[in-house]
Amino acid sequence: MPPQPWKTISTREVYKNNWIRVREDLAEMPNGRTTIYGVCEFGECVGVLPFIDNQNVAMVRQYRYVQQENHRWEMPTGGIYPGETPEQAAQRELMEESGFRAGELIWVSSYHTSKSVCCETAHLFVGRGLSAAEAPPDETEFIERAILPFSEVLRMVELSEIRDSMTVIAVLHVARLRELGKW
């Protein structure tokens, strides 16, 4: 039998800005006891692994304030705006960050970025049939762009040089599909 759900007794907003909401819930567990549960809400996000051709991908890097680093490559990623579909958000982020638009977006995976304290779902895509298409970046983005061999990107994932979960998951999915001859 699956585990029984918990019941939310009350919710108190602790902090909120345009990107994050933090709340504290009083939750009743299946045994009748209560506990305080902190939750960070981010909404939904997207990532696109854009293939220039069968062997090369467009990658970006920027200063990541939380990790205090600027040297790790990642695929274009970002949040989904209200009213946008994941596909629309993926195209927008791809144009903002890489300067390309995908002729074809192929869904790879959707997953919860943190299963215990964060409420965020990531939708991953591969972009094919790219054409040049610029869109203004977000005001907090200062991005470096590069075209890298997929084999090098995979190597960076395997060596933990790339640590962004969306990029890692998309690259490993594609590598597995290539291994199976499905890509």
Cα 154 to its chain centre, rounded Å, is 17
Choose which CATH entry (3.40.50.300, 2.30.30.700, 3.90.79.10, 3.40.190.80) describes domain 44-111+121-179: 3.90.79.10
Model confidence pLDDT, tens digit, residues 97-120? 999 999 999 999 999 999 889 999
Confidence of residue 181 (pLDDT cuts 50, 70, 90): confident
CB atoms within 10 A of CB 149: 11
The number of residues in the chain equals 183
Radius of gyration over every alpha carbon of the chain, rounded to an integer in angstroms: 19
Domain-by-domain residue ranges, the chain? Answer: 44-111+121-179
User: Can you list the alpha helix ranges (DSSP code H) found in the chain?
Assistant: 86-98, 150-158, 165-179
Is the separation of the CB atoms in 168 and 85 below 8 Å? no
Model confidence pLDDT, tens digit, residues 39-56? 999 989 999 999 999 999
Across the range 115-133, mean pLDDT stands at: 94
Residue 138 has pLDDT above 80, yes or no: no
Confidence of residue 37 (pLDDT cuts 50, 70, 90): very high
At 166, give phi and psi (nearest 5°): -65, -45
Model pLDDT, residue 173:
96
Instruction: Return the closest-CA partner of residue 60 out of 105, 95, 111, 87.
Output: 95
Across the range 140-152, mean pLDDT stands at: 92
Model confidence pLDDT, tens digit, residues 77-93? 999 999 999 999 999 99
> What CA–CA distances, in Å, run from 180 to 128, 154, 166, 173, 176?
19, 16, 21, 11, 6
Single pTM value for the model: 0.92
